[in-house]
Chain A
Amino acid sequence: MSEALLQVSGLTMRFGGLLAVDSVAFEVKRDEVFAIIGPNGAGKTTVFNCVGGFYKPTAGDILMDGKSITGMPSHKVARHGLVRTFQNVRLFKQLTVLENLLVAQHTQVEARLLPGLLKLKSYRQSEADAVARAAQWLDFMGLRQYANREAGNLAYGHQRRLEIARCMITKPRLLMLDEPAAGLNPQEKRDLQALIDQLRREFGVAVLLIEHDMSLIMGISDRILVMEHGKPITTGTPDQVRSDERVIKAYLGEE
């Protein structure tokens, strides 16, 4: 088994005449925090969508744990342990916080019709377990008191945390966060950083992250991929990236 959990090579995505992503390659190691940064329109989210199965890449290979997931529909990708959050939070707004976490366990619970209709013991047990797991995660995220509220009524910061909890309850191996700090206040950003760190340590999950907040990125990432105009510029540790001239040029513009 290779050290890399996710291997992306030669990833290219073309929308008509627009080359959104041009031969991007990177690897995410097990329990590593890997960040993708770049100016707006650099193609970061497109990379995410390709990896998550929301777009079919024009070319390139995506391997998860050595198995190809290239071009697989997103729900199958998710079953390979790749789960993501969204740039603008996508909760099931009219469902309660608890129900959001129950839906996420759909692939793990007894979902066959007959046991449920007959309320068999196996079904009751599976439901009770699902609720218990959800309760654990709500405690972990400090959202227990909102369990029975509609998810859409939560404060924005709480919605972000719930979305991460909803991913984590599927027991992913790679958690993909699309701008998780967007719209959070400084305190919430610090909490988020601590949370990502804790998730990695306690649950052994690797994190692939897109973010604009530089202090968060630099503080948390093991390695960073910098993109500009769909092309990868460089990959390296935060220190390497910070001192790389091409990166500075991309962000600050040329003299």
Chain B
Amino acid sequence: MANNNTLKNAVMAAILTAIIVTPVFGLHLVRQGARTVMETQWHMVAIASAAVFAFQLLRPWIAKPFRALKFGIPTLPAAPTRGSRGVIALIIVAAVVWPFFAGRSSVDIATLVLIYVMLGLGLNIVVGFAGLLDLGFVGFYAVGAYTYALLYHWGGWGFWEALPFSGAVAALFGFVLGFPVLRLRGDYLAIVTLGFGEIIRLLLINLNTLTGGPDGISGIPKPSVFGMEMARRSSEEGTRTFHEIMGWTFQNQHMVIYLYLMALLLALVTLLVSTRLIRMPVGRAWEALREDEIACRSLGLNPTRIKLSAFTLGAMFAGFGGAFFAARQGLVNPESFTFIESALILAIVVLGGMGSQVGVILAAILLTVLPELAREFAEYRMLVFGLVMVLMMMWRPQGLLPMKRPHVELGK
């Protein structure tokens, strides 16, 4: 009986494979001079079907050793909520000193990692703590980036003056968009936020006169050092660059390191603030709301306000990240803020372990560095990405370093 079923399954799987694979492998367009001819390669389809058939038929036997393996996967320890101060200080010192000895490209990648750490920590508040699935997070990132870009373009503002505004404008967007959206739950919320992310991107493309359309805005200045430019030559008459005052000769490497250090600073501030937030009454309320909204209401907690606070604060962090991104790139265009970015940030949060700060940082490093290391396999990036996600869901649905409770403890 079981064998009969296996055979039936295998046949069905083989047929389905043949149908799916035919347009991909079976039909080839071959150009012969001016004409394009379709060539059929049935042997490819046959091989694929045969492989699937054999696999399905033998699956019960193949699965056996794997079943044992499933329990053998080593479990990682839960993320420590309070690492010892010494270790944390050591990590920070290492992170500060490291770029002076590293190559330019690795420092550059590290800066990118730190931007994603900022974004991941921001989204972690929304998804991990408040339990609101936000698929349009990149929209707030875009708002932050464009706020700085536009303030520079139309007002000539510098990075440090624009930074708080980028955060504030992104937070405002989070607040305004949150109002109508947060009545929805679960999947509906996800779809609407997805729509908002896309709307913001489309607005950026189509508001040609304001945002420069698909070309975006370029020539955005890098952050200054205490009001002094960090460049080879001063762009304005009568001002001196940081290097001239310090008596250094300018190297491009300096700028890269400086950007890295600023990103590190911003990421640390984000980490500090979000770590405090989740231990505060508002953080507890986020988690309570994720657990049971009705119980929250019965205790006098206003769910709309609490959700809105999570949405707004998350958006604010995205705004800071966006402003920094604009400064680092020197140009912004809508291309940088597609849905895939939202998906990546969400993947960072899920992979890291929803609600786990350390996990999110680890996942941000993994998901940014690995694709850079495996550039040859760039074509298969999304495939591997999907595979990793599926494996995660099977073996470690709670994420790499799941959050450890409790934040507050009562002594005996």
Contacts and interface: CB of A to CB of B under 8 A. Distances in A.
Contacts of A138: 410
Interface residues on B, range: 20 to 34
Contact of A79 (B295, B300, B303): B300
Contacts of B282: 111, 113, 116
Given A95-B405, A98-B406, A99-B406, A106 B291 contact: no
Nearest to B288: A103
Contacts of B298: 52, 54, 74-75, 78, 83-84, 86, 90
Contact of A107 (B300, B405, B408): B300
A117 B276 contact: yes
Contact of A78 (B280, B292, B297): B297
B336 interface: no
Contact of B405 (A96, A110, A116): A96
B409 A78 contact: no
A59 interface: no
A104 B410 contact: no
B284 A102 contact: yes
B250 to A, nearest CB: 38
B285 A54 contact: no
Interface residues of A, number: 48
Interface in A43-84: 52-54, 73-76, 78-79, 83-84
Given A95-B288, A96-B405, A110-B281, A145 B412 contact: yes
Nearest to A79: B300
B409 A148 contact: yes
B373 interface: no
A131 B408 contact: yes
Interface in B381-412: 405-410, 412
Contact of A95 (B273, B287, B301, B303): B287
A109 B281 contact: yes
Contact of A92 (B292, B302, B410): B292
A107 B306 CA distance: 12
Contacts of A131: 408, 410
A86 B295 contact: yes
A77 B407 CA distance: 30
A92 B287 contact: yes
Given A90-B292, A148-B410, A78 B299 contact: yes
A84 B405 CA distance: 27
A55 B131 CA distance: 25
A62 to B, nearest CB: 16
Interface string B249-292: 00000000000000000000000010011001110110110011
A253 B262 CA distance: 78
Nearest to B405: A96
Contacts of A96: 405-406, 408
A100 B298 CA distance: 13
B281 A106 contact: yes
B410 A134 contact: yes
Nearest to B294: A90
Given A54-B294, A95-B284, A75 B409 contact: no
Nearest to B301: A106
Contacts of A54: 294, 297-298
Nearest to A123: B280
A107 B277 CA distance: 17
Given A96-B405, A99-B407, A111-B282, A106 B299 contact: yes
Nearest to B407: A99
A150 interface: yes
Contacts of A123: 280
B280, B294, B407, B410: most-surrounded residue (chain A CB, <10 A): B410
A53 B298 CA distance: 9
8 contacts: A52-B298, A54-B297, A78-B299, A90-B295, A92-B295, A95-B288, A116-B276, A117-B277
Interface of A: 52-54, 73-76, 78-79, 83-84, 86, 90-96, 98-100, 102-104, 106-107, 109-111, 113, 116-117, 119, 123, 127, 131, 134-135, 138, 144-145, 147-148, 150, 166-167, 170
Interface of B: 273, 276-277, 280-282, 284-285, 287-288, 291-292, 294-303, 405-410, 412
Given A116-B276, A147-B409, 17 more contacts: A54-B294, A75-B299, A86-B294, A91-B292, A92-B292, A94-B291, A94-B405, A95-B406, A96-B405, A98-B410, A103-B288, A103-B299, A111-B285, A116-B280, A138-B410, A148-B410, A166-B299
The list of the 5 closest CB pairs from A to B, nearest first, reads: A78-B300, A116-B280, A147-B410, A92-B291, A90-B295
